[in-house]
Structure 1
Amino acid sequence: MTAPSEALAAGAPTTSPFVPRPASGPWDVTTLLLDFSIITYAVPPEALARHLPPDFEPDTFVLADGRRVAFVSAVPFRDEEFRFGFAPFLRARMGQTNYRAYVRYRGERAVWFFGTSLDSFWVGVPRSLWKLPWHPARMRFQNALVRRGRALRALPPRHRGRMGPGGAGARGKPDAHGVPGRLP
């Protein structure tokens, strides 16, 4: 039997459900994501459209009640064992939340990232070097198990944090990086 790595190198399909990770470069990061959640809200497409750049439009969906909506999400998670390829011995842990919308770019489905909040001094790296709309935040994740009858059920992690000077829920015009306030 051919080893999965040999089969992949030869371009042959493999029966393994896992694909070996490619070698990391010095500027690549590796992390373990924990307590990952996707919290999605239905919003009026015209409200989302006001916050998108040219050539982007909300991807719309029709709900069971007949309403046409667009979706925006907050995606909180914890980074554990976060490290750069050039310094794998330096490791960090932090909370992170990505704020995004589901859009179409010239007719193709895509995801538009409004910004990221990060509970770490590392927030300065993408903000300074690549001018990305990343903002410092304080976050706390709390997990819980609750008893439902005879079974234990895991509740989704609770997340407290904010993005930008006024927080992710702040009303107002986009900041210098284009990060909008709350959609009406």
Structure 2
Amino acid sequence: MVLNPGGLLFHGRRFPCTIGRGGVSDAKREGDGATPAGIHRIVGMLYRPDRMARPTDWAVPIRLGDLWCDDPAHEDYNLMVRAPFSASHERLRRADPLYDLVILTDWNWPYAERGRGSAIFMHRWRRPGAPTEGCVALRADHLAWIATRIGYDTRLIVRPQP
């Protein structure tokens, strides 16, 4: 998968997508809203079993209480955690459909450098052109199509924008 100004290219198809409000960055930091440049491995997939069928045999259901730690000072920074959790976090089981299907990248994972950024996912977009907090977002049907075709060697390549 290659992300460039024309969208996301995967298996010979181009998909419109949105990126972080901070653009693409070679120096990603927590809270800057940027999508990190680089070659990112796909390391997991999460889905809402109450809203959709399991997309692949390796997708993991999002349960009530699943969170993602985004607190650079916490030992579980950039890891999935469970409620109750007192440090800063993002709720994975959201009321809106943005995280009904989440593809996890290896940005700053599994050994996170504090403050370098967390929770860089591929997920559903709010609407065309609406920026993310640093993730790559796509239309729901495009995300689902991509999810079923991800292989062990699939990479998300994010190039700096001119």
Q: TM-score range by the shorter chain?
A: under 0.3
TM-score where L is the length of structure 2: 0.24
Higher helix content, 1 or 2? 1
The structure having more radius of gyration, on CA atoms, is 1
Higher strand content, 1 or 2? 1
The answer to which structure, 1 or 2, has the higher relative contact order (CA under 8 A, 6+ apart) is 2
TM-score where L is the length of structure 1: 0.22
